[in-house]
Amino acid sequence: MADREVRIAGGIVAGLVTLGVAEAVSVLISPDSTPLQAVGAWVVDHTPDGFREWVIGLVGTNDKLLLFVSMGVVAVVLAAVAGLAERERRPLGSILFAVFGLLAVLAALGRPAAAWTWAIPAILGTAAGILVLRSLIRRLAEFREGGDETPAESDSTEASSTQRRQVMRWLAVTGAAAVAAGVAGRIIGLRSRDVSAERADVQLPTPTSAEPPIDPGADLKLPGLTPYLTSNSDFYRIDTALTVPQVSKDDWSLRIHGMVDHEIRLSYADLAARTPIERLITLTCVSNPVGGDLIGNARWLGYRLDELIAQAGPHPDADMVLSRSIDGFTAGSPLAVLTDGRDAMLAVGMNGEPLPTAHGYPARLVVPGLYGYVSATKWVTELEITRFDRAEAFWTKRGWSARGPIKTECRIDTPRGRGLAPGKVTIAGVAWAQHRGIRGVEVRIDQGDWQPARLAAAPSIDSWVQWAFDWDAPAGSGVHTVWARATDGTGETQTDQQQDVVPDGATGYPSLTVRIG
């Protein structure tokens, strides 16, 4: 083992000390203020979309894990370089630490929820890391002075192997302590802010205008067919949050401001004085490809947005409501859509429970007929009444359409297997055109005629509808392609034009290939 290796190890331990101290200190501030979290969030915000999609295509929802692993690798390499570069008179390694420490401070202060205190973990962490580096160099230098080398030789002279072992032991202990402090800090920090216990105690208000009990005919209960109601645990989840925001209802408030006569701020307790509604609404992600599953139907409990907005008195020339989340995400919804009488709401309940944390606890928006990216802001804290020519929301800045009405679409859920027995084959799925409703679904086998499918009961024009079609599959007829298409309540049939999800939602008929034995 040479000094070189001791220096590399020393740099890495200094890096661990930086991260560990920052994580430990963050217990008193916020788990999101640490270099790992803040820089990670910065990277997420600044990753080009094409690259992000490519990565998600490769690793799926492990993208966040991959992010932390890659950041870890980069941090180790940088720390090792700093260890190698550090000299008693030329503290290049310390300078490198200071530069990255500063970047971590800037990343932390740039977070939407940041206070000035968010600078502290990175500053103290970096200072501790630099102390370790300096102390390492001093130890190595002392060994040299202990020997008889002339100053000119000192940089090339090596410490003895016993001395190096001693330094390595010190590094191992320091490194282990840093990792322990860091892990403990993270766990305690996350626990102390975890709102799941609080959430479990929330008493939901009773809606005065409840959705009538769901017509049992809405669910055909066919094998392989998606249930009419999506349970909270099966509901798709899409957001840019690196860790799920933990917002206590006692700290939460909703500010309605911008082009209004009087700005208002509502606390969670203020909501209790209002009248809630409960509605069946199907939420859809604009990134849902034809046949995809980024869609779910739930019973939402909340407060009418038109009433809340009216109370603030929007100016007649305003046309957009820019909703903002505690994590900085924004969505731009047409003011006219939120106030045209549909059941757009500030939701606090989902399927009879308080909103799950990942779905926006304590409050989020749900707007029938608009894709999630332009309407369904989770952990919502602000509604800014503004104009489309003045404000741009999160995804619009990244090339997605400013307006996102949901397109009429359908999906084939069953049959799923490719090889099927001849005779009766039930083809079934769901169709949606939120706020227009579904008038019909048709099925076509190969180049045959479009034939009407039967529709399940539709308790709401804002939610999806199940459909089914019984096909008498001819024996031994080989491979067939099955197509489906929906017609909405305005009489418009979904387009057969195939379009990708960018910029405003995928289109085209869903299809399925089967082989009849």
Ligand X SMILES: Nc1nc2c(c(=O)[nH]1)N[C@H]1C(S)=C(S)[C@@H](COP(=O)(O)O)O[C@H]1N2
b/e code 67-86 from CB counts within 10 Å (16+ = b): beeebeeebeebbbbbbbbb
Q: Contact, 334 vs 305, CB < 8 A?
A: no
Helix (H) or strand (E) holding 7: helix 3-25
Q: Per rule CB under 6 A, is residue 329 in the interface with ligand X?
A: yes
Report the amino acid identity of residue 218.
A
Shorter beta-carbon distance to ligand X: residue 39 or 350: 350
Shorter beta-carbon distance to Mo ion: residue 100 or 235: 235
Query: Among Mo ion, ligand X, none, what binds residue 236 when CB lies within 5 to 8 Å by partner kind?
Result: ligand X
Stretch of 93-101, 248-256, 284-292, 481-489 lying at the interface with Mo ion (CB under 5 A):
284-292
For the record, the structure tokens of 193 come out as: 């802010």
What end-to-end distance do the CA atoms of the chain give, in Å?
Answer: 69
Q: Is 418 helix (H, G, I), strand (E, B) or coil?
A: coil
Q: Contact, 297 vs 228, CB < 8 A?
A: yes
Query: Among Mo ion, ligand X, none, what binds residue 244 when CB lies within 5 to 8 Å by partner kind?
Result: none
Q: Contact, 405 vs 370, CB < 8 A?
A: yes
Stretch of 97-105, 314-322, 324-332, 431-439 lying at the interface with ligand X (CB under 6 A):
324-332
Binding mask 224-263 for Mo ion (x = CB under 5 A): --------------x-------------------------
Cβ at position 407, least distance to ligand X in Å: 14
Instruction: Please tell me the distance from the alpha carbon of residue 451 to that of residue 472, in angstroms, as a whole number.
Output: 13
Shorter beta-carbon distance to Mo ion: residue 292 or 313: 292
Shorter beta-carbon distance to ligand X: residue 12 or 281: 281
Cβ at position 374, least distance to ligand X in Å: 8
User: Interaction with ligand X in 216-255: which residues (CB under 6 A)?
Assistant: 235-240
Shorter beta-carbon distance to ligand X: residue 3 or 384: 384
Q: Is 454 helix (H, G, I), strand (E, B) or coil?
A: strand
β-partners of residue 479 are 515
Using a 10 angstrom Cβ sphere, with 0-12 exposed, 13-18 middle and 19 or more buried, the burial of residue 311 is middle
**Which residue in the block uniquely carries the two structure tokens 């909501």?**
271
CA dihedral in degrees (74, 75, 78, 83; nearest 10)? -150
Interface residue with Mo ion, options 373, 379, 464, 509 (CB under 5 A) = 373
Cβ at position 380, least distance to ligand X in Å: 7
What's the angle, vertex CA 482, arms to CA 479 and CA 483, rounded to 5? 150
Query: Among ligand X, Mo ion, none, what binds residue 378 when CB lies within 5 to 8 Å by partner kind?
Result: ligand X
Bond into 362 cis (ω within 30) = yes
| 3-state DSSP of 20-69 | HHHHHHHHHCCHHHCHHHHHHHHHHHHCCHHHHHHHHHHHHHHHHHHHHH
Cβ at position 41, least distance to ligand X in Å: 12
Query: Among ligand X, Mo ion, none, what binds residue 239 when CB lies within 5 to 8 Å by partner kind?
Result: ligand X
Shorter beta-carbon distance to ligand X: residue 235 or 432: 235
Q: Per rule CB under 6 A, is residue 359 in the interface with ligand X?
A: yes
Query: Among Mo ion, ligand X, none, what binds residue 100 when CB lies within 5 to 8 Å by partner kind?
Result: none
Cβ at position 14, least distance to ligand X in Å: 35
Count of residues binding ligand X (CB under 6 A)?
A: 18
Shorter beta-carbon distance to ligand X: residue 118 or 379: 379
45 phi/psi in degrees, rounded to 5: -65, -25
Query: Among ligand X, Mo ion, none, what binds residue 235 when CB lies within 5 to 8 Å by partner kind?
Result: ligand X
Q: Contact, 226 vs 292, CB < 8 A?
A: no
Instruction: Please tell me the distance from the alpha carbon of residue 346 to that of residue 340, in angstroms, as a whole number.
Output: 15
Query: Among ligand X, Mo ion, none, what binds residue 359 when CB lies within 5 to 8 Å by partner kind?
Result: ligand X
Q: Contact, 98 vs 130, CB < 8 A?
A: yes
Query: Among ligand X, Mo ion, none, what binds residue 167 when CB lies within 5 to 8 Å by partner kind?
Result: none
Interface residue with Mo ion, options 285, 346, 458, 468 (CB under 5 A) = 285
Cβ at position 326, least distance to ligand X in Å: 7
Interface residue with ligand X, options 325, 333, 357, 408 (CB under 6 A) = 325
User: Interaction with ligand X in 368-387: which residues (CB under 6 A)?
Assistant: 372-373, 376-379
What is the sign of the dihedral through the CA atoms of 171, 172, 177 and 179? positive
Q: Per rule CB under 6 A, is residue 502 in the interface with ligand X?
A: no
Q: Per rule CB under 6 A, is residue 327 in the interface with ligand X?
A: yes
Shorter beta-carbon distance to ligand X: residue 373 or 469: 373
Cβ at position 463, least distance to Mo ion in Å: 17
Segments of 417-458 assigned E as strands: 419-420, 423-432, 438-445, 451-452, 454-455
Binding mask 29-68 for Mo ion (x = CB under 5 A): ----------------------------------------
Strands 253-258 and 264-267 come out as antiparallel
**Which residue in the block uniquely carries the two structure tokens 């599959």?**
473
Q: Per rule CB under 6 A, is residue 403 in the interface with ligand X?
A: no
User: Interaction with ligand X in 280-309: which residues (CB under 6 A)?
Assistant: 283, 285
Residues making contact with Mo ion (CB under 5 A): 238, 285, 372-373
Residues making contact with ligand X (CB under 6 A): 235-240, 283, 285, 325, 327, 329, 359, 372-373, 376-379
